[in-house]
Homo-oligomer: A and B are copies of this chain.
Amino acid sequence: MTDLYDVAAIGNAIVDVIAPATDAFLEAEGLVKGSMQLVDEMQSTKLYKKMAQAIEVSGGSAANTVAGVASLGGKSAFLGKVAADQLGSVFVHDIWAVGAHYQTQPLRVGPSTARCLINVTPDGQRTMCTYLGASTRFAPFDVDQTVIEGAKIVYLEGYLFDPEEARRAFAKAAGLARAAGRQIALTLSDSFVVERHRGALMEFIEDQVDILFANEAEITALFETDFDAAVKEVRKHAKIAAVTRSEQGSVVVSGRKTHKIAAAPVEKVVDTTGAGDQYAAGFLFGLSQERPLDECGRLGALAAAEVISHYGPRPQVPLKELAAAQGL
């Protein structure tokens, strides 16, 4: 099969609305710091009204990863649904601008483009409330077979387990990728996603996943145990697992092998939005180039460090140049 893409990803197509906030604000709004919470349109509107002056940037976990892969010089494609509205146009513009392939038809009738309200506290932590809107309408029909079969790695986000249609599309994509002999990567996305869908996620990982991404909260939620035990456990279930631990770097395990990767240095953490997405971008790009696992981890760390040093979930400078400067 021809390799059209290094990485193709399916995810929610979201525009981020990012504003600074205090810890007191999070408390007053009953928001769990660092988490992602689903909200309906009314809750979203209500919270937005209370938020500070914001910036709008294209987001969506897997879409951010696709942008990161492109920034590293990889060929990437994205599948996910926006509405035919202004924020949808913003999303489409930005994913095209990084050079990614994106052709999912926008939703003409129905909810508006998904938006994620992100409150960033002075410590740089992001707390997210997502209105999924049109992205829940991504359906099996939208899974472009040519894209899935033409990608070295098919990357799926755990967030897709929430909307029912998207979950069916997710299953279809995984089936196509598997049949085409492609590698499948999954991110657990969020510890609450894991809580909601532990059984189904576990089954999917067992059956289909080659590369699993998780952070500390997610991996411990998946196995309902502590970090060390969870890392031990994950070896039995995924061929490769990359577990991120913020400033403590990441641990990459594969069979009996373990690679501890240090976090790349950051002058000041401004906004952690996109850290995990960019780690995955670096890692997957490395894998697609058949680099050794520790190098993949270091590419991930480098991409994550860039993105947390500014507002917004996507690279602001070409990661390819950053990587070259680091000899990666």
Contacts and interface: CB of A to CB of B under 8 A. Distances in A.
A112 B67 CA distance: 28
B90 A56 contact: yes
A51 B19 CA distance: 24
B86 A53 contact: no
A120 B98 CA distance: 17
Nearest to A85: B86
A268 interface: no
Interface string A81-112: 00001110010011011100000000000001
B67 A58 contact: no
A97 B52 contact: yes
A152 interface: no
Interface in A314-328: 314, 316
A53 B48 contact: no
B93 A67 contact: no
A22 to B, nearest CB: 12
Interface in A150-186: none
A60 interface: no
Interface of A: 19-20, 48-49, 51-58, 67, 85-87, 90, 93-94, 96-98, 112-113, 312, 314, 316
Given A19-B97, A53-B67, A55-B57, 20 more contacts: A20-B316, A48-B93, A49-B93, A51-B93, A52-B97, A53-B93, A53-B94, A53-B97, A54-B90, A54-B93, A54-B94, A54-B97, A55-B55, A55-B56, A55-B312, A56-B56, A85-B86, A86-B86, A86-B87, A86-B112
